[in-house]
A and B are shown apart, each in its own frame.
Chain A
Amino acid sequence: EDQVTQSPEALRLQEGESSSLNCSYTVSGLRGLFWYRQDPGKGPEFLFTLYSAGEEKEKERLKATLTKKESFLHITAPKPEDSATYLCAAQRGEGSQGNLIFGKGTKLSVKP
């Protein structure tokens, strides 16, 4: 069964304290691995897509990496405004199908 697991469930950091969030997946025929940020009561906001093992993408203080079984979201010198829930999702399917399988997320709190 296709599955996406994120750890830890919650992470509390001090401002400036770098860390990593983990996303492990067992998905047959993976087409892409997505990272989203979600603020309370709002829709997920797209961050990155990774398509192949070894790929890396960066945006400001965030860097996403992908292996054949896991993806990591590295947060460097986080600020309080980085506090949010970070969601990982795997996409599989053929042709025009493209539904995402989401993990339950990591809730990040960054204290000043």
Chain B
Amino acid sequence: DSGVTQTPKHLITATGQRVTLRCSPRSGDLSVYWYQQSLDQGLQFLIQYYNGEERAKGNILERFSAQQFPDLHSELNLSSLELGDSALYFCASSVEGADTQYFGPGTRLTVL
């Protein structure tokens, strides 16, 4: 158990819908990262927050957004969902930006 929690574990929805994925980092960690893992692309970095502020952006679509709240938990919002958004979404956390990242168990999103 890494200490990072993610909810829900599974999510099944339809195209065009909007969903919210939630992540609670390890106690004491200030950085939260979101990654997407699909079969053909592997793990791809989406976005990083550090102590409530956005710090780095990867290949995140405009339909996706995220935020980190004062209690340091983070939410990833995915809207206008397409079939190709079906993937595993992982959250990771670290104390600082350069530290080891510990990953949560992931949310499996299926878009029908």
A residues adjacent to B (C-beta < 8 A): 31-32, 34, 36, 41-46, 49, 87, 89, 91, 93, 95-105
Kindly report which residue of chain A lies nearest to residue B30, judged by CB atoms: A96
Kindly report which residue of chain B lies nearest to residue A98, judged by CB atoms: B97
The contact string, 1 if C-beta is below 8 Å from chain A, for chain B 72-112, is 00000000000000001010001011111111111010000
The 8 closest A-B pairs by CB, nearest first: A98-B97, A96-B97, A43-B103, A102-B43, A104-B42, A99-B45, A97-B56, A96-B50
**In the complex the two chains form, is A98's CB within 8 Å of B101's CB?**
yes
Q: How many residues of B contact A (CB 8 A)?
A: 29
Residue B58 at the A interface, CB < 8 A? yes
**In the complex the two chains form, is B100's CB within 8 Å of A45's CB?**
no
Per the bound structure, the CA–CA distance linking A91 and B97 in Å amounts to 10
Residue B31 at the A interface, CB < 8 A? yes
Residue B18 at the A interface, CB < 8 A? no
Chain B facing A: main interface SS: strand
Residue B48 at the A interface, CB < 8 A? yes
* Set of chain B residues within 8 Å of A103, measured between Cβ atoms: 42
Residue B65 at the A interface, CB < 8 A? no
Kindly report which residue of chain A lies nearest to residue B58, judged by CB atoms: A99
Q: A43-B2, A87-B43 are in contact. Are A98 and B99 (CB under 8 A)?
A: yes
Q: A31-B98, A43-B90, A49-B100 are in contact. Are A99 and B2 (CB under 8 A)?
A: no
Whole-angstrom distance from the CB of A46 to the nearest CB of chain B?
Answer: 6
Whole-angstrom distance from the CB of A29 to the nearest CB of chain B?
Answer: 12
**In the complex the two chains form, is A96's CB within 8 Å of B96's CB?**
yes
**In the complex the two chains form, is A45's CB within 8 Å of B97's CB?**
no
**In the complex the two chains form, is A97's CB within 8 Å of B48's CB?**
yes
**In the complex the two chains form, is B90's CB within 8 Å of A44's CB?**
yes
Per the bound structure, the CA–CA distance linking A96 and B32 in Å amounts to 11
Whole-angstrom distance from the CB of B74 to the nearest CB of chain A?
Answer: 14
**In the complex the two chains form, is A98's CB within 8 Å of B105's CB?**
no
**In the complex the two chains form, is B97's CB within 8 Å of A101's CB?**
no
